[in-house]
Amino acid sequence: MRVAIAELSHETNVFSSVPTDLAAFERSGIRRGAEMVYALRGTATTIAGFLDAAERAGFTALPILAVWATPSGTVTHDAFEALAGELVDGLERAAPLDGVLLSLHGAMVAEHARDADGELLRRVRAAVGPDIPVVAVLDLHANISASMVEAADILIGYDTYPHVDQRERGREAGDLLVRLIRGEIRPAKALVKPPMLPTSQNMTTDRDPMRTLIARAHELEAMPHVLNVTVAGGFPPADVPEAGLSVLVTTDGDPPLAQELAEELGKLAWELREGFLGGVSSWDEAAQAIREVRSGPLVLVDIADNPWTGGPGDSAELLRFLLSNGVRDAALALIKDPDAVAACLAAGVGQTVELELGGKTDRLHGPPLPVRGYVRMLSDGRYVNRGPMHAGVVVDLGRSAVLVCDGVEVLVTERAESPIDLNVFRSHGIEPSERRVIALKGKGHFRAAFEPIAERVVLVEGPGITGSDLTRLPFRHIRRPIWPLDPLP
C-alpha cells in the first residue's frame, strides 16, 4: 500500500494587517520528503500519527510536504498557489497511490479562495481521481465546509483543546484509510452547522460546554456503524460563511444514521451555547486577584493579542498593566518587537536601554510603551517544547532578549508564537513556577502546560483582534443572523 502524507495548514484571521505570504510559511518551516519524517516522527503531531499508522498497518508512507505558518492575515494568492501546487505535484509524482492522508487546519482563507481548505481538497481529489481514498485531519477550530466534506472520504477533527491528541487523530486517520483501501467501509457523512459563532476562551475540552459535547460524541462513536464523530468549535475571525461550530458524523454506509446523530449533537451544542460566553475578567478584577496571590504563580492571560489566533503579538498592554500596578516578581511572554531586540543586541547583556516597546504593527493593539530596561539575556529564541502539547516540536522565536523592567522580566522577540510551553521561559533562564505572576498571550492552549503550575488563571482582554468580543470585528462574510451577534428566534 502506497500512501502519500502531507500537511498544509493555516488558521487565518482576515482582520490581521499582516498578510500571510510564502515567506511567512518559510519562516515557520517548510519540510519536504524525508526531512519531514526526520523532523516530526515521534512528536505530538498529526504527521507523527500518520507515521505510527504506517508502521502499525504496514503501508508505505510517502512524505510529500509539511508546512504551516503562525496564524496571521489572509494567505496570499502566490503563497497558496505555490504550496497547493507543490502538494498536488508531489501527489502526481508519487503515483501510483493507494491513498492520501492530509493534515489541514480547516480555517485557512486565501485571497482568491475563501474556503481554502475546500479548494485544496478539491484539487487533491482532482489529482488522484474519484477512487483513491483521501482522509484528512482537521483542527478543533476548523470551519468545516460542505466542499471539504464532499472532496474528502473522511474528515477527522481533534477532540481536545488544548490540542494534545493530534498524534492520536493522525493514527485514527491512518487506520480508517487502511480500511477504506481494503474496501471494508463505505463512509456516509452528515454535516450540521447550528447558527453559532462561539469564541474559544471557554472552548477548552476539560470544561463545559465542550466537555459534554465531546463526551457525547465519544458515546456515539461507540455505536455500531459509526466511524467518526467530530465537533469543531470553529474560528470566527476567518470571516467566511462556514465560520462557526460544526458537527460532522461519518457512518459506515448509513446516511440516515449520520444525519440523525449530527442533528442530535447540533441541537445539544445549541442548547449549551451560553456556556461559551464569558470567562474574561476586568483589569480591576485582575489587579485584585494579583493582590490576593499567596504562593503563585497567578497566570494572567491577555486573549486579545494571541499570536495563535492571528494577533500580531506586539501589544504592550499586559506590561503596561503590570508596571502601572507596581507588580514585581513577574515574567511575561511575549512582546514581538524586532527593533527592540536590535536595540538590546546593540547595547549588549548587562546594559540598560530605553525603548518604545511594542504596539507597532497596527493601531488595534495599543500604543508603544516607553520603558527603561536591563538586558539580562540575549538568545536565538529557539527551544524544544516539553509538552504535553506539541512535545518535541522545535519553536523559533527569532533572536530574543530578556528585558527586566521594574521587576518584570519581559521576553522580547523577533517573531510571535503563542507561549504554550514552560520551556519558553526555562530556555530563557526563568523558572515560571517560582514567579508570583506569569503573564501570557493566549486563549486556551497555554492551559496544557501552565494550569498544572498555576495557583490561579485569570483571563483579561486588552485591545486587539483575537478576544471574546466579536462586536470589535467588522465581519462581512459570515452567515447572518448568527448567535451571539444577532437576535435569533
- Cell numbers of 328, please? 514585581
Sign of torsion over alpha carbons 140, 141, 143, 147: negative
For residue 258, the minimal CB distance to Zn ion (Å) is: 24
Query: If 0-12 CB within 10 Å is exposed, 13-18 middle and 19+ buried, where does residue 476 land?
Result: exposed
For residue 110, the minimal CB distance to Zn ion (Å) is: 19
Q: CB-wise, 117 or 337, nearer to Zn ion? A: 117
- Tell me the three state secondary structure of residue 188: strand
For residue 355, the minimal CB distance to Zn ion (Å) is: 33
Measured distance CA(386)–CA(404) in Å, rounded? 25
Among 21, 98, 115, 139, binds Zn ion (CB under 5 A): 139
Q: DSSP assignment, residue 107? A: B
For residue 138, the minimal CB distance to Zn ion (Å) is: 9
Length of the chain, in residues: 489
Show contacts with Zn ion in window 379-408 (CB under 5 A): none
For residue 163, the minimal CB distance to Zn ion (Å) is: 6
Least Cα distance to 301 among 407, 454, 412 occurs for 454
Measured distance CA(128)–CA(82) in Å, rounded? 19
- Cell numbers of 118, please? 475546500
- Tell me the three state secondary structure of residue 358: coil
Q: CB-wise, 336 or 445, nearer to Zn ion? A: 445
- Cell numbers of 472, please? 470589535
For residue 418, the minimal CB distance to Zn ion (Å) is: 10
Q: CB-wise, 432 or 442, nearer to Zn ion? A: 442
Q: CB-wise, 231 or 340, nearer to Zn ion? A: 231
For residue 444, the minimal CB distance to Zn ion (Å) is: 8
Measured distance CA(72)–CA(16) in Å, rounded? 6
Residue nearest to Zn ion (CB): 141
- Tell me the three state secondary structure of residue 156: strand
For residue 231, the minimal CB distance to Zn ion (Å) is: 13
Number of residues that bind Zn ion (CB under 5 A): 2
Which among 52-60, 132-140, 381-389, 405-413 is the span making contact with Zn ion, rule CB under 5 A? 132-140
Query: Rg of the Cα trace of the chain?
Result: 22
For residue 167, the minimal CB distance to Zn ion (Å) is: 15
> Would you say 144 and 242 are in contact if contact means Cβ atoms under 8 Å apart?
yes
Least Cα distance to 320 among 310, 332, 337, 309 occurs for 332
Show contacts with Zn ion in window 444-483 (CB under 5 A): none
φ/ψ of residue 77, rounded to 5: -55, -50
For residue 309, the minimal CB distance to Zn ion (Å) is: 9
Q: CB-wise, 9 or 427, nearer to Zn ion? A: 9
Which among 135-143, 218-226, 375-383, 459-467 is the span making contact with Zn ion, rule CB under 5 A? 135-143
Q: CB-wise, 375 or 391, nearer to Zn ion? A: 391
Measured distance CA(366)–CA(359) in Å, rounded? 6
Q: Indicate whether 443 belongs to the interface with Zn ion (CB under 5 A).
A: no
Cell 463545559, residue?
208
- Cell numbers of 130, please? 474519484
Measured distance CA(230)–CA(217) in Å, rounded? 7
For residue 71, the minimal CB distance to Zn ion (Å) is: 9
Could you count the other beta carbons within 10 Å of the beta carbon of residue 33?
13
Measured distance CA(58)–CA(126) in Å, rounded? 27
* CA trace torsion 213, 219, 221, 225 (10° rounding): -130
Which positions from 140 to 169 touch Zn ion by CB under 5 A, shown as an x/- string? -x----------------------------
Which residues neighbour 95 within 8 Å (Cβ) at sequence distance 6 or greater? 128
For residue 139, the minimal CB distance to Zn ion (Å) is: 4
Q: CB-wise, 141 or 441, nearer to Zn ion? A: 141
> Would you say 29 and 89 are in contact if contact means Cβ atoms under 8 Å apart?
no
Q: CB-wise, 141 or 171, nearer to Zn ion? A: 141
> Would you say 333 and 411 are in contact if contact means Cβ atoms under 8 Å apart?
yes
Which among 131-139, 326-334, 378-386, 434-442 is the span making contact with Zn ion, rule CB under 5 A? 131-139
Cα within 13 Å of Cα(187), Cβ side:
27
Interface residues toward Zn ion, by CB under 5 A? 139, 141
